């Protein structure tokens, strides 16, 4: 495998971005937002998205200027070899810890909501096994599969949203700013890490066919994600009201259990497989990018040989918390508090350094 030989096009890149970030409202991210923002939890992805425009615009500006260079090359070029290594190592570590925590959450979702009798280690091993196989197949295959299944995933989400919004009450959304405008702004800023994956996606820049494809793909993905995340959060508040939503750890899975379509009940049996496919693709892409970064950091060209080690280690680390529903949630908040400022300030710092070096002059 090694680095991809063929480049991926705009549609593959866009759907990879959509699946990596768009699935975030189906895990415990909504619970985190409702905890602090109550009924205004739905505003956080939107406001965080607006704030994320700053680092995203700067990243895309850098991408246009440094053609054929990805985040790794730009970091080494602007920070120097030593500092660049440190910055990238921190990025890799945040990514690795986040994958371990996120997979632990998804395993917890599957084991507490669907396969209650199956040991968590089996579910975790199957999840990581499939994702490791996906990552081993390489970026082109991840992109092709993403593109093949994305329409079905989006339609299933749309169907969930239509049913949820139809059965919900719009009055639950008010007052719009819940605990207060300042609190909403502060929490949105602290949850900026929702969009941090765009920083990791910048590593894939040289493997996308053209700079235009990368720019267009990023903007399309960003707009669709912003819309998806906000509407999904709105649907949770409208269906449950914020007091119930605050007590739910995985609102999406409660939603698909609660909604009904005419005489059809237990709709989770219909929506769960789609969610599962999105989960496999999401973690395959995460794993691929994280291993690619590790390989670049330590000059390992055939990084596919460390995929089994990474997946096994993630399973063992993810199994450490005894009560994942609560402890992983806490650890994710901690990682988010480190990742959010990094996502905001790193592109700004890179852009300023590029400006000082005179690389942005055309």
Beta bridge partners of 258: none
Q: How far apart are CA 93 and CA 80, in angstroms?
A: 20
Query: For residues 189 and 313, which CB has a smaller minimum distance to another protein in the complex?
Result: 313
Token pair for 94: 């945040």
The answer to whether 44 and 123 are in contact (CB under 8 A) is no
**By CB under 8 A, is residue 299 in contact with another protein?**
yes
**By CB under 8 A, is residue 326 in contact with another protein?**
no
Q: Ramachandran region of residue 175, left (φ > 0), alpha (ψ -120 to 50) or beta?
A: beta
Q: Which of 305, 326, 330, 345 binds another protein (CB under 8 A)?
A: 305
Q: How far apart are CA 43 and CA 28, in angstroms?
A: 16
Q: Which DSSP helix (H) or strand (E) runs through 253? A: helix 251-258
Query: For residues 20 and 314, which CB has a smaller minimum distance to another protein in the complex?
Result: 314
Interface region with another protein, contact rule CB under 8 A, candidates 58-66, 234-242, 296-304, 353-361: 296-304
Interacting residues with another protein between 5 and 64 (CB under 8 A)? none
Q: What is the CA radius of gyration of the chain?
A: 20
Phi and psi at 201, nearest 5°, equal: -65, -25
**By CB under 8 A, is residue 149 in contact with another protein?**
no
Contacts of 12 (CB under 8 A, 6+ apart): 140, 143, 144, 146, 147
Q: Which of 275, 294, 331, 344 binds another protein (CB under 8 A)?
A: 294
DSSP state of 6: S
Query: For residues 224 and 313, which CB has a smaller minimum distance to another protein in the complex?
Result: 313
Query: For residues 220 and 319, which CB has a smaller minimum distance to another protein in the complex?
Result: 319
By rule CB under 8 A, what string of x and - marks binding of each residue 72-111 to another protein?
----------------------------------------
Query: For residues 112 and 312, which CB has a smaller minimum distance to another protein in the complex?
Result: 312
* Minimum CB–partner distance for residue 207 and another protein (Å): 21
Contacts of 171 (CB under 8 A, 6+ apart): none
Q: Which of 319, 338, 349, 360 binds another protein (CB under 8 A)?
A: 319
Contacts of 39 (CB under 8 A, 6+ apart): 172, 173, 174, 175, 178, 237, 241, 242
Interacting residues with another protein between 113 and 132 (CB under 8 A)? 119, 121
Token pair for 87: 């910055």
**By CB under 8 A, is residue 308 in contact with another protein?**
yes
- The rounded Cα 124 to chain-centroid distance in angstroms is 19
Query: For residues 224 and 319, which CB has a smaller minimum distance to another protein in the complex?
Result: 319
**By CB under 8 A, is residue 327 in contact with another protein?**
no
Q: Which of 149, 306, 338, 353 binds another protein (CB under 8 A)?
A: 306
Beta bridge partners of 261: 264
Q: How far apart are CA 282 and CA 20, in angstroms?
A: 5
Q: Which of 113, 165, 189, 313 binds another protein (CB under 8 A)?
A: 313
Q: DSSP strand E in the chain: where?
A: none
Q: Which of 264, 320, 334, 348 binds another protein (CB under 8 A)?
A: 320
Interface region with another protein, contact rule CB under 8 A, candidates 72-80, 148-156, 184-192, 300-308: 300-308
Query: For residues 9 and 129, which CB has a smaller minimum distance to another protein in the complex?
Result: 129
Which residues contribute to the site for another protein (CB under 8 A)? 119, 121, 294, 297-300, 305-306, 308-310, 312-313, 316-320
């Amino acid at each position: 495998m090694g680095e991809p030989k063929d480049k991926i096009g705009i549609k593959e890149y866009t759907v990879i971005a959509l699946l990596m970030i768009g699935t975030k409202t189906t895990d415990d991210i909504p619970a985190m937002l409702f905890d602090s923002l109550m009924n205004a939890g739905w505003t956080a992805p939107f406001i965080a998205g607006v704030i994320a425009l700053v680092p995203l615009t700067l990243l895309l500006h850098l991408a246009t200027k440094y053609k054929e260079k990805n985040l790794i090359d730009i970091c080494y070029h602007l920070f120097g070899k030593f500092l660049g290594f440190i910055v990238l190592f921190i990025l890799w570590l945040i990514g690795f810890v986040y994958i371990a925590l996120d997979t632990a959450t998804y395993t917890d979702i599957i084991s507490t909501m669907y396969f209650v009798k199956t040991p968590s280690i089996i579910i975790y091993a199957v999840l990581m096994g499939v994702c490791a196989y996906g990552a081993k197949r390489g970026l082109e295959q991840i992109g092709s599969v993403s593109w093949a299944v994305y329409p079905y995933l989006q339609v299933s989400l749309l169907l969930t949203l239509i049913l949820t919004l139809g059965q919900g009450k719009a009055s639950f959304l008010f007052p719009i700013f819940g605990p207060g405008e300042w609190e909403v702004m502060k929490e949105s800023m602290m949850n900026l890490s929702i969009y941090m994956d765009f920083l990791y996606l910048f590593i894939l820049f040289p493997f996308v066919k053209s700079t235009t494809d990368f720019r267009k793909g990023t903007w399309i993905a960003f707009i669709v994600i912003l819309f998806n995340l906000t509407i999904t959060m709105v649907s949770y508040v409208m269906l449950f009201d914020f007091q119930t939503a605050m007590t739910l750890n995985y609102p999406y899975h409660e939603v698909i259990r609660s909604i009904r379509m005419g005489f059809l009940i237990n709709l989770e049996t219909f929506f769960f497989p789609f969610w599962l496919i999105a989960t496999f693709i999401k973690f395959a892409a995460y794993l691929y990018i994280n291993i690619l970064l590790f390989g670049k950091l330590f000059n390992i060209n055939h990084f596919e040989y460390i995929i089994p080690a990474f997946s096994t280690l993630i399973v063992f680390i993810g199994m450490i918390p005894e009560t994942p529903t609560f402890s992983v949630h806490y650890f994710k908040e901690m990682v988010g508090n480190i990742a959010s400022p990094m996502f905001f300030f790193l592109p700004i710092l890179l852009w300023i350094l590029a400006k000082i070096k005179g690389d942005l002059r055309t």
